[in-house]
Structure 1
Amino acid sequence: MDDEYQSSRILIVDDVYRNIQLAGAILKQENFHFSFATDGNTALRVAREGGVDLILLDIMMPDLDGFSVCSLLKENPETADIPVIFLTAKNDTESIVRGFDLGAVDYLTKPFQAAELLARVRTHVHLRITERKLKEANAAKDRFFSIIAHDLRSPFTALLGVSQYLRDGIDELSPETAKELIGGIHTASKNAFDLLENLLQWSRVQTGTAVFVPEDVELASSVRDNIGLLGVNIAAKELSVENKVPENIRAYADARVVDTVIRNLLSNAVKFTPRGGRVELIGEENGKDCRLIVRDSGVGMSEKQLASLFKIDSRQNTKGTEQEEGSGLGLILSKEFLDRSNGYLSVESRPGEGSVFTVTLPAFS
């Protein structure tokens, strides 16, 4: 059985413990995780606590019967989408129809066969997993289009505005002003290119068309190249950027992944570090793995910001210390790339104390 099935949790609700034992023994045959409740109120509490993927619910119980429990589950937004299968000794049409009207997805008549119970559970767990993945995909798609609609517009708006001003006033502008405007065009163009590059790479990951080919990658060289690419931004904010990665540290990873991750992490550090601040890139190796640490003296992040940092449906869109634009997609892309490359990205941060991003990759041997 697939891991996604085995990690699913079934809640068995029945006031007769022998029935719980029987259903639990059947579920164990395919390694389903399950918990149980012997009354309706306990079942409601367990469901509200979260982590329940399917409920097997007996109809005939004292105090709150199965119909009442199902009705209360469907009234609560926190539990409304949990599928319910009724377990009933009643097989009259009226009871069955009432169960469906209350939101149940299926029913089993006692005594039931093990094969039938497992078949129903597999079907509805699969539907539950599929529905969850569909919601996640739709949320990601909505955020993707939001990025295109909003964030991609910003650099092009700047490009159009500055280039038009330069075109209309070229004969009257001083060389210094013209140079400043051209610098603005360069910055806006680079922002647009970086965003497009991240969007394209992220979309390839989501569609499964991204191909990763690990090879011998010298981290110090990639760090140098990316510091050079961001040289204008670094100089504009008078930042001290130090490359402390030893020349002998080599990762076994896709070169494009390493380059993209370093570019995004360095760009993020530059963006959120105040003028005159410091950024360090440090390399370490322990024989099996190598680590690249990007430490800045920037504004840092709260626990709430950290919790949503790598989520496409709640991505950060905070401006930099000098109002630099950004989509927040670069960090999300970096983490997804590393997850698919036997790597890992972690972060530590506190407001006002800066951030430390750590990239872990297999070492080349």
Structure 2
Amino acid sequence: MIETILSGWKSEIVNSLSQSKSYCLAVYSTAGELIFANEAFQMLIKDDACKSLLNPDFDKIVGLPHDSVLIFSGFMTIGTIEEVNTSIFAHIYRKNDQLLIIGGMDMLNLTEQNRILHQMNAEITHLQRQLLQKTLLQEQTLSKLNAVNEDLLKANQDKDKFLKILAHDLKNPMFAISGFSDLLIKNFRKYDENTIEKQLGIINTTTKKTYDLLEELLLWTRSQSGKIPFAPRTVQIKNVCDDVLSLLNESAAVKQIEIISEINADLELHADVDMLRTILRNLISNAIKFTHEKGQITLRAEQQDTDMIITVSDNGIGMSQNTISKLWQIADLYTTPGTKGEKGTGLGLMLCKEFVEKHNGKIWVESEVGKGSDFKFTMPVSEVGTDN
């Protein structure tokens, strides 16, 4: 049936097979001479046409039983062992002293290979994408680590500078205490009572200021190490302000400064009471320090959405924008004398910033030279959003 169908196409079939680049056709003599090879077969063989038949090799093919014309059907390997070799599915026929090799790729095998290659290609593409994602993630992580490292280096440098400033601030009053006490010891019997009382007053005042500085330093150090308890609860802001004012009214009275509280008694917020007291004490103390005699300080509280904005306002000397930019920089620890020459370290404002941010709040100042300052900070009204 097939022979009948193809009988009319013999010349075309022979022509196609002889020129095919995908289907191999070769004729050998049993003596080992390559009589004919189409282009596809020539691409597989090397210098020695017989030795290019690797498995089965030429001698084995010649030695196969040839009771029938078809002596072999299966995969055969062509090429060299040292270099590239190729396996094809072939039929080998023998007539008299000639061998006809016809073969090519098994289509089922080729389809399976293509399927495997496609799957491998998809897996490789997936792995490449994963690798790119991991590489990108590593680059982003490295970038973040570098940024954190730079921040840590700067923080360490800032703290080193900060400690040097503090050491200087501590050393000066200690020299004053030591110097005046030495003078008293050496001249105790020579000085009159007024001189002794004056020098003892200087020693006492300097000692108190040094103690206050050490207290602030200790509190700041504890806040940096996370050792200060943080226990926010609902509090009435007016009660806390009144407690702080009872401690500072005497300082304000010395300069005849009037402190007015405009805070409503029913206003509540969610805060750690001790931290809130420290914030208010430092801000009100600063206002007293930089307000002229017979000046005025006003306390206000206003709820906006979920936050309470608390303001400590004074009509004192005010600040320039350049001064404001340095207030919360630990490396600068900026401070200036008050209206009566009062001294400070700038550490109080650093504590305020630490404690406000502990509540997820913000602190800022609005000021103008000669027109006073408004120090403002926010606290949460309820527990939602606080940093526990």
> Smaller-chain TM-score range?
0.5 to 0.7
Residue in structure 1 matched with residue 159 of structure 2 by the alignment: 141
Deviation at 1:290, TM superposition (A): 2.5
The alpha-carbon distance between structure 1 residues 129 and 153, as it changes in their structure 2 partners (threshold 3 A), is: same
Cα deviations across residues 28-66 of structure 1 (Å, max 9, x unaligned)?
xxxxxxxxxxxxxxxxxxxxxxxxxxxxxxxxxxxxxxx
Which residue in 2 is equivalent to 1:172? Answer: 192
Aligned counterpart, 2:351? 333
- 2:230 is the alignment partner of 1:212: yes
RMSD between aligned alpha carbons?
A: 3.1
Asked whether the equivalents of residues 260 and 299 of structure 2 are also in contact (C-alpha less than 8 Å), the reply is yes
Query: 2:155 corresponds to which letter in structure 1?
Result: A
Contact 1:239 1:279 in 2 (8 A): yes
**2:365 and 2:151 mapped to 1: Cα distance?**
26
Specify whether residues 150 and 232 from structure 1 end up closer, same or farther in structure 2 by C-alpha distance, changes over 3 A only: farther
Measure the CA separation in 2 of the matches of 1:248 and 1:161. 53
State TM-score, norm by structure 1.
0.61
Q: Deviations over 1:316-357 (max 9, x none)?
A: 121212221111111121012111113221210011111001
2:162 touches 2:332 (CA, 8 Å); kept in 1? no
**Is contact 1:239-1:277 (8 Å) kept?**
yes
1:342 to 1:113, Cα distance in 2 relative to 1, 3 A? closer
Shift, 1:313, TM fit: 1.4
Could you tell me how far apart the structure 1 residues matched to 2:155 and 2:205 are?
33
Correspondence for 1:228 among 246, 251, 254: 246
Asked if the contact 1:309–1:316 (Cα under 8 Å) also holds between the matched residues in 2, the reply is yes
CA distance in 1, matches of 2:210, 2:289: 15
Q: Partner of 2:311 in structure 1?
A: 293
Q: Partner amino acid for 1:319?
A: P
Displacement after TM superposition at 1:284 (Å):
3.0
Give yes or no for contact 1:222–1:259 (8 Å, CA) kept in 2. Answer: yes
Of the structure 1 ranges 157-166 and 337-346, higher mean CA displacement relative to structure 2 is found in 157-166
Distance in 2 separating the partners of 1:241 and 1:165: 41
Q: Does 1:278 align with 2:276?
A: no
Change (3 A) 1:160 1:252: farther
Q: Is the 8 A contact 1:151 1:326 kept in 2?
A: no
Task: Structure 2: give runs of 5+ residues left out of the alignment.
Answer: 1-129, 384-388
Are residue 253 (structure 1) and residue 271 (structure 2) matched?
yes
> 1:212 touches 1:341 (CA, 8 Å); kept in 2?
no
What percentage of residue pairs aligned between the two structures are identical?
Answer: 36
CA–CA separation in structure 1 for the residues paired with 2:226 and 2:142: 27
Superposed displacement of residue 311, structure 1: 1.3
Distance 1:287 1:178 in 2: 59
SS in 2 for 1:281: strand
Matched with 2:48 is none
Structure 2 residue aligned with 1:304: 322
Deviation of the 1:159 alpha carbon: 4.0
The structure-2 alpha-carbon separation of the partners of 1:193 and 1:120, relative to structure 1 and needing over 3 Å to count, comes to same
How much does 1:257 deviate? Answer: 0.8
| Number of residue pairs the alignment of both structures matches | 254
Cα deviation 1:254-276 (Å, max 9, x = unaligned): 11110110111011111111222
Q: Does 1:324 align with 2:342?
A: yes
Deviations 1:139-161 (A, max 9, x none): 23213312331122344344445
CA distance in 2, matches of 1:230, 1:143: 31
**Amino acid across the alignment from 1:173:** E
SS of the counterpart of 1:224?
helix
Confirm or deny: 8 A CA contact 2:271 2:359 kept in the other structure: yes
In structure 1, give the amino acid aligned to 2:289. Answer: K
Q: Secondary structure at the match of 2:193?
A: coil
CA contact (8 A) 1:269 1:298 kept: yes
Contact 1:300/1:355 (<8 A) preserved: yes
- Name the SS for the 1:125 alignment partner: helix
Against the structure 1 CA distance between its residues 313 and 361, is the aligned structure 2 distance closer, same or farther, given a 3 Å change threshold?
same
Q: What is the alpha-carbon distance in structure 2 between the residues aligned to residue 116 and residue 226 of structure 1?
A: 55
Q: Is the 8 A contact 2:362 2:378 kept in 1?
A: yes
Show CA shifts across 1:161-209 (max 9, x none). 55566675597224xx777666545543442233222222222232233
Q: Kindly provide the CA deviation profile for residues 64-117 of structure 1, in whole angstroms up to 9, marking residues without a partner as x.
A: xxxxxxxxxxxxxxxxxxxxxxxxxxxxxxxxxxxxxxxxxxxxxxxx951463
Where in structure 2 are the equivalents of 1:1-365 lying within 5 Å? Answer: 114-115=132-133, 117-118=135-136, 120-122=138-140, 124-161=142-179, 172-174=192-194, 184-285=202-303, 288-363=306-381
Unaligned 5+ segments in structure 1 are 1-111
Relative distance call for 1:123 and 1:150 in structure 2 (3 A) is same
